[in-house]
Structure 1
Amino acid sequence: MGVQPTFDTPNWRIAIIGSGPSAFYAAQALFKQDSWPLRVDMFERLPTPYGLVRGGVAPDHQKIKSVIKIYERIASNERFRFFGNVEFGRDVSREDLLEHYDAVLYAVGSSSDRQLGVPGEDVSGVHSATEFVGWYNGHPDYRHGQFDLSSKSVAIIGMGNVAIDVARILAHRLQEIEVTDIADHALQELAGSQIEDIYLIARRGPVQAAFTPVEARELLEMPEADALANPEELQLDEGSQQELDAAGRETRQNLEILNKMAERGNTGKPKRLRFVFLTSPAEVLSEGGKVTGLKLERNVLKQRNGKLSAAGSGETFTLDCGLVFRSIGYKGLPQPGLPYDAKSGTVPNQQGQVFNPETGVACLREYVAGWVKRGPSGVIGTNKPDAVESVRTMLQTFLDEKWQPKEATGVAEIEALLESRQVDTVSFSDWKRLDEHEVRAGQESGKPRRKVSDPEEMLRIIRSG
Structure 2
Amino acid sequence: MPHVITQSCCSDGSCVYACPVNCIHPSPDEPGFATTEMLYIDPEACVDCGACVSACPVGAIAPASRLTPEQLPFIELNAGFYPPRPPGQKLPPTSKLAPVIPAPQVRSGRSPLTVAIVGSGPAAMYAADELLTQPDVRVNVFEKLPTPYGLVRAGVAPDHPSTKRVTALFDRITRRKGFTFFLNVEVGEHLSHSDLLAHHHAVLYAVGAPNDRRLDIDGMGLPGTDTATELVGWFNGHPDFTDLPVHLDQERVVVIGNGNVALDVARILTADPDELARTDIADHALARLRNSRVREVVIAARRGPADSAFTLPELIGLTAKAEVVLDPDDHELVQRDLAALGTGPEDRLTRAKLDVLSKLGSSDSPLTRPRIRLAYRLTPARIVGADRADGIEFTVTGTDGSRRIDAGMVLTSIGYRGRAVRDLPFDDDAGVVPNDGGRVSGARSAYVAGWIKRGPTGFIGTNKSCAQQTVQQLVADYNDGVLADPVDRPGALAKLVAARRPAAIDLAGWRAIDAAEIARGDGIRPRNKFTDVPSMLAAAAAAPKPSVRQRILAGLRR
The corresponding residue for 2:401 is 315
Residue 206 of structure 2 contacts residue 449 of structure 2 at CA under 8 Å; is this kept in 1?
A: yes
Counterpart of 1:399, as a letter, is N
What code does the residue aligned with 1:83 have?
F
Alignment-mate amino acid for residue 176 of structure 1: E
| Partners of 2:513 and 2:377 in 1: CA distance | 46
CA distance in structure 1 between the partners assigned to 2:321 and 2:483 by the alignment: 58
Aligned to 1:153: 252
1:21 matched residue in structure 2 = 122
2:223 paired with 1:133: no
Alignment of 1:50-129 (within 5 A): 50-129=149-228
Structure (1/2) with the larger strand percentage: 1
Q: Secondary structure at the match of 1:291?
A: coil
Q: 1:463 Cα shift?
A: 0.9
The aligned counterpart of 2:30 is: none
Answer whether contact 1:12 1:406 (CA < 8 A) is retained: no
- Aligned with 1:394 (options 463, 469, 474): 474
Measure the CA separation in 2 of the matches of 1:205 and 1:134: 29
Is 2:456 aligned against 1:370?
Answer: no
**Map of 1:276-291 to 2, 5 A cutoff?**
276-287=375-386, 289-291=387-389
TM-superposed CA distance for 1:261, in Å, is 0.8
Q: 1:422 to 1:118 in 2, by over 3 A?
A: closer
User: d(CA) in 1 for partners of 2:494 and 2:340?
Assistant: 57
Q: Report the CA distance between 1:411 and its aligned residue.
A: 6.4
Instruction: Give the match for residue 460 of structure 1.
Output: 538
- Where 1:254 maps in the other structure, the secondary structure is helix
How far, CA to CA, are the matches of 2:248 and 2:201 in structure 1?
50
Query: Does residue 336 in structure 1 map to residue 422 in structure 2?
Result: yes
**What CA deviation, in whole Å up to 9, does each residue of 1:192-232 have, x standing for no partner?**
11111211011112222111122112232336x34335312
Structure 2 counterpart of 1:8, from 93, 97, 109: 109
Which residue of the other structure, out of 286, 310, 325, is the alignment partner of 1:227? 325
Q: 1:447 aligns with which of 511, 521, 525?
A: 525
Structure 1 segments unaligned to the other structure (5+ residues): 301-312, 356-361
- What does residue 391 of structure 2 align with? 293
Which residue is equivalent to 2:374? Answer: 275
Distance 2:359 2:501 in 1: 59
- Partners of 1:339 and 1:250 in 2: how far apart? 38
**Separation of aligned partners in 2, 1:12 and 1:210:** 42
Decide which moves more: 207-216 or 75-84: 207-216
- Runs of 4+ more than 6 Å apart: none
Q: Label 1:94 to 1:315 Cα distance change in 2 as closer, same or farther (>3 A).
A: same
Specify the alignment match of 1:218 in structure 2.
317
1:431 to 506, 510, 514: 510
Which one-letter code corresponds to 2:433 in the other structure? Answer: V
Q: 1:179 aligns with which of 278, 285, 294?
A: 278
Show CA shifts across 1:344-375 (max 9, x none).
211111100111xxxxxx43510001111111
From 303, 306, 320, the equivalent of 1:204 is 303
Aligned residues: 440
Q: 2:306·2:337 contact (CA, 8 Å) conserved in 1? A: no
Distance 1:239 1:352 in 2: 43
8 A contact 2:341–2:347 mirrored in 1: no
Structure 2 unaligned segments of length 5 or more: list them: 1-101, 544-558
Normalised by the size of structure 2, how large is the TM-score? Answer: 0.75
Residue 247 of structure 1 aligns to a residue whose secondary structure is: helix
- SS in structure 2 opposite 1:182? coil
- Deviations 1:303-346 (CA, angstroms, capped at 9, x unpaired): xxxxxxxxxx2221111111100000011111111111112211
CA distance in 2, matches of 1:70, 1:19: 13
* Residues 352-401 of structure 1: CA deviation (Å, up to 9, x unaligned): 0111xxxxxx4351000111111111111110000000000111122234
Q: What does the per-residue CA deviation read over 1:144-184, in whole Å, with 9 as the maximum and x for residues that have no partner?
A: 11111011111000101000000000110111111111000
Cross-structure match for 1:347 = 433
Distance 1:60 1:386 in 2: 27
Give 1:406's aligned residue. Answer: 486
Q: Give the partner amino acid of 1:121.
A: M
Q: Which amino acid aligns with 1:397?
A: D
Asked if the contact 2:122/2:150 (under 8 Å) is kept, the reply is yes
Contact 2:326 2:375 in 1 (8 A): no
Q: Distance in 1 between matches of 2:374 and 2:201?
A: 50
**Could you say which residue in structure 1 is the equivalent of 2:27?**
none
1:102-136 deviation digits (Å, cap 9, x = unpaired): 00000001111011111111111000111100000
Q: Distance in 2 between matches of 1:157 and 1:232?
A: 21
Q: Distance in 1 between matches of 2:350 and 2:290?
A: 35
Q: Name the residue aligned to 1:310.
A: none
Distance, in Å, in 2 between the alignment partners of 1:403 and 1:155 is 51
1:30 is displaced (CA, Å) by: 0.7
Structure 1 CA distance for aligned equivalents of residues 182 and 335 of structure 2: 53
Greater RCO structure (CA 8 Å; 6+ sep): 1
- C-alpha distance in 2 between matches for 1:168 and 1:364: 45
- 8 Å contact 2:395–2:403 — kept in the other structure? yes
TM-score calculated relative to the size of structure 1? 0.90
Closer, same or farther: CA 213–228 of 1 in aligned 2, 3 Å: same
State the one-letter code of the partner of 1:228.
L
Return closer, same or farther for 1:170/1:463 CA change in 2, 3 Å cut-off.
same
User: Once superposed, what is the RMSD of the aligned Cα atoms?
Assistant: 2.1
Identity of aligned residues (%): 38
For 2:318 and 2:421, the matched residues in 1 are separated by 38
* Counterpart in the other structure of 2:33: none
